[in-house]
Homo-oligomer: A and B are copies of this chain.
Amino acid sequence: MTGIPTATISRLVTYLRILEGLEAQEISRTSSNDLAERAGVTAFQVRKDLAYFGRFGTRGMGYTVPILKRELMRVLGLNQTWNVVVVGVGRLGQAIANYPGASDYQFQYVGLFDVNPDVVGRTVRGLTVRHMDELPEFVRGNKVDMGFLAVPPDHAQDAAQALAGAGVRGILNFAPTVIQPRMLERAGQQEISDEWRAVIVENVDFLAGMKRLAFYILNPHLNAVDTEETE
């Protein structure tokens, strides 16, 4: 009986984005119907998703854009600052470090790490790339909350282990690999080790996205069309 579906969290992120767009257009009111249409889901879904976290609307009126936006930011933990390190400063890591939009949400890049001597010492986005050896001390000394993992797949588990061992609370894994919440040495049946107990791993895998796309092009009838608007 945990409650909130993970899909709901993803949709909340979408609603928040829509609310920001509305605010930018100086539209101050919306409704579950309006949000639903913009998000490509049903109005039932919008109301149910919001209901998990509170009552943010006014019956007969709808939602006030700034209020709902503020509440969703609070729910999603976006009204606080998150200190982030990027591990792996290749092309993808640099694209991530420079991606506009991250800093809008109080995700602050405080450190960049790599093992490649060609990269270590260079400056990216105003930050000097450090060697992985410095990671544990840096994470502890700089109150780092999250690590973004953009290393090649065969180094992902090691790097994730380093992040978990250093004490980050979350890892956003861009590598096309399953991160195991345990030490590498004895991957067998081993218990989840202590340093992993509190670590959340989220995956962003665009090779997987490419492959799913290939599948759904070949099997269009199996595609989940959420857009279904009956009435």
Known: A204-B206, A222-B3. A215 touches B9 (CB 8 A): yes
Among A61-69, A114-122, A134-142, A170-178, the stretch in contact with B: A170-178
User: Which of A75, A198, A224 has the largest number of chain B CB atoms within 10 A?
Assistant: A224
Which residue on B lies nearest to A41, using beta carbons? B178
Check: A29 CB closer than 8 A to any chain B CB: no
Residues of B within 8 A of A6 (CB): 212, 224
CB proximity of A75 to chain B, nearest CB, Å? 7
The total of chain A residues at the interface (CB under 8 A) is 76
Q: Which of A105, A208, A209, A215 has the most CB of B within 10 A?
A: A215
Which residue of chain B lies nearest to A90 when distances are taken between CB atoms in the complex? B95
A56 within 8 Å of B (CB atoms): no
Contact with B along A93-110 (1 / 0, CB 8 A): 011101111100101000
Interface residues of chain A, those whose CB is within 8 Å of chain B, are: 1-4, 6, 9-10, 12-14, 16-18, 38-40, 75-78, 82, 91-92, 94-96, 98-102, 105, 107, 145-146, 148, 152-153, 169-172, 174, 176-178, 180-181, 192, 198, 200, 202-218, 220-224, 227, 229, 231
